[in-house]
Amino acid sequence: MTYQNYSLKQLQAIDAAHHLHPFTDHKDLRAAGSRMITHADGPYIYDSEGNEILDGMAGLWCVNVGYGRNELAEAAYRQMKELPFYNSFFRCTTPTPVLLAKKIAELAPDNINQVFYGSSGSEANDTALRLVRHFWALQGKPQKNRIISRNMAYHGSTIAGASLGGMGGMHEQLGGAVPNVVHVMMPYAYELALPGENDHDFGLRAAKAVEDAILEAGADNVAAFIGEPVMGAGGVKIPPASYWPEVQRICRKYDVLLMLDEVITGYGRTGEWFAAQTFDLEPDTITTAKALTSGYQPLSALLVGDRIAATLVEKGGEFYHGYTYSGHPVACAVGLENIEIIQREGLVERVKNDTGPYFAKALQEHLGDHDIVGEVRAIGLMGAIEIVKDKATKERFEPSGSAAVVVRDHAIANGMMLRATGDTMIMSPPLIWTRDTIDLACERIRKALDLAKADLFRSK
């Protein structure tokens, strides 16, 4: 690696000249210059100026075992030397995807025993969409192909991912979404509950929106409902306890498949291996990626339930779908080692019994009373802080989304990486965080909130 031969200014100039970043306003980026992260260790990332920043986002919801894991580097190195690549097409495969699939099946809900690989969450959702439609076609019901999703859902950035997702800005830029995807309300009580409506009733009403969409289309035309168990990029929106059991009941009643997108929640984040287990669900597909390798290699796995998998075998016929890197041997070697680390260190149990509950309590106690915080919420090691101008009325700062950016910039300047989405600060730290790390994070966030409050009221 020779980047050390370049100054930050030189790297930024090359970046501006040649590199188009994802989800970026390129005009703004040119003006501001990019932040260059150069190395990382444990829970910390370091930028080119040597600043140490506590990574409250685990990279991008993925580095669950933290940075600097030699075992993962060595697993990749060994596999690259032995067999860097061979495909899984044409009745071939290689050992590591086989063994990883077995491992995932052991951890997954009981009705799930098969895995289809890709390299990203978006690809895995493409696979999921094609697979459920193929399933109904094999069942002799090709017209049962409508998918119900939710506003503000994030299911990736390919055409299928963006179509499944419920982000208005993304839809506007699609120039034609995948047909037959409809979106219903999200289960977000803080903004959508009616005056006097309690969480329980709100959760049932949000689930009823799914039933209404099924009835409107006719159950014979609806293939599946897709949802993130906890909406991530849309703002860590945790549904009321009444929501998921009711959605599961409705899906069963109308024979609509349940597709869970666990790209964020998979592999421990909510204190179980999968949020399906946290919410006691029996999905037909689970989309996973990110923490499957803790982000050390690009890898996704679509977990496929027995009903769909058995139909593929019974009915036969080729499923015309797959990627060159489906079951990449190096990525799968890293995935295997990563799961072993999570198991060896008991990280899932730790989130469930210790750091998860502590995280929720700490956010509440240290940040919940702050003047510009409307609500804090957490599940496992996933959290959100709502930024408001007025706690009582829930009034937001204008323009929408601006205040969270001010908080984020102060947080980063104070050694704390947080993400701003809309008016919400979101967090998804590595599962290696301890109680001490959580305390340190709360201290830094509190300081960022104080500084942001001063800025935000000064500029009014």
CA dist 184 and 206 (Å) reads 8
Stretch of 118-126, 190-198, 250-258, 406-414 lying at the interface with ligand PMP (CB under 6 A) = 118-126
3-state secondary structure 190-227: HHHCCCCCCHHHHHHHHHHHHHHHHHHHCHHHEEEEEE
38/158 with CB nearer ligand PMP? 158
Neighbours of 291 (CB within 10 A): 29
Return the axis-axis angle of helices 435-458 and 356-367, rounded to nearest 10°. Answer: 30
Nearest residue to ligand PMP, using CB? 121
Q: Which residue has the tokens 């090359």?
A: 14
224/406 with CB nearer ligand PMP? 224
Q: Which of 97, 109, 156, 305 binds ligand PMP (CB under 6 A)?
A: 156
- Classify the C-alpha dihedral 321-125-118-97 as positive or negative: negative
Q: Which of 59, 97, 203, 232 binds ligand PMP (CB under 6 A)?
A: 232
CB of 253 to ligand PMP, least distance (A): 26
Q: Which of 12, 113, 122, 149 binds ligand PMP (CB under 6 A)?
A: 122
CB of 383 to ligand PMP, least distance (A): 15
426/452 with CB nearer ligand PMP? 426
Bond into 429 cis (ω within 30) = no
Stretch of 143-151, 153-161, 174-182, 418-426 lying at the interface with ligand PMP (CB under 6 A) = 153-161
Secondary structure class of 38 (helix, strand, coil): strand
215-219's contacts with Cβ under 8 Å and 24+ in sequence apart are 217/146, 217/182, 219/254, 219/255, 219/256
234 touches ligand PMP by CB under 6 A: no
260 touches ligand PMP by CB under 6 A: no
Number of residues that bind ligand PMP (CB under 6 A): 14
CA dist 61 and 58 (Å) reads 5
CB of 163 to ligand PMP, least distance (A): 13
Q: Which of 126, 211, 228, 246 binds ligand PMP (CB under 6 A)?
A: 228
Q: Which of 120, 145, 428, 437 binds ligand PMP (CB under 6 A)?
A: 120
CB of 155 to ligand PMP, least distance (A): 5
55/261 with CB nearer ligand PMP? 261
CB of 157 to ligand PMP, least distance (A): 6
155/370 with CB nearer ligand PMP? 155
Stretch of 11-19, 181-189, 259-267, 354-362 lying at the interface with ligand PMP (CB under 6 A) = 259-267
The separation between the first and the last C-alpha atoms of the chain, rounded to the nearest angstrom, is 47
Interface of this chain with ligand PMP, residues 340 to 359, rule: CB under 6 A? none
Q: Which of 263, 276, 291, 445 binds ligand PMP (CB under 6 A)?
A: 263
Stretch of 12-20, 120-128, 172-180, 342-350 lying at the interface with ligand PMP (CB under 6 A) = 120-128
160/250 with CB nearer ligand PMP? 160
Q: In what order do the strands lie in the sheet with 37-41?
A: 37-41, 44-47, 52-55, 416-417
283, 276 Cβ separation under 8 angstroms: yes
User: What are phi and psi for residue 188, nearest 5 degrees?
Assistant: -120, 95
Interface of this chain with ligand PMP, residues 32 to 61, rule: CB under 6 A? none
Interface of this chain with ligand PMP, residues 271 to 310, rule: CB under 6 A? 289
12/293 with CB nearer ligand PMP? 293
246/262 with CB nearer ligand PMP? 262
CB of 293 to ligand PMP, least distance (A): 11
264 touches ligand PMP by CB under 6 A: yes
Contacts of 194 (CB under 8 A, 6+ apart): 202
Q: Of 244, 241, 239, 293, nearest to 267 (Cα)?
A: 293
342, 64 Cβ separation under 8 angstroms: yes
Instruction: Tell me the CA distances in angstroms from 307 to 52, 108, 214, 218, 312, one per residue in order.
Output: 49, 15, 21, 22, 9
Per DSSP, the residues of 96-144 read: HHHHHHHHHHHHS-TTEEEEEEESSHHHHHHHHHHHHHHHHHHTT-TT-
Return the axis-axis angle of helices 329-344 and 95-107, rounded to nearest 10°. Answer: 40
CA dist 364 and 374 (Å) reads 11
115/449 with CB nearer ligand PMP? 115
Interface of this chain with ligand PMP, residues 369 to 428, rule: CB under 6 A? none
Stretch of 32-40, 114-122, 274-282, 443-451 lying at the interface with ligand PMP (CB under 6 A) = 114-122
Give residues in contact with ligand PMP (CB under 6 A): 120-122, 125, 154-156, 228, 232-233, 261, 263-264, 289
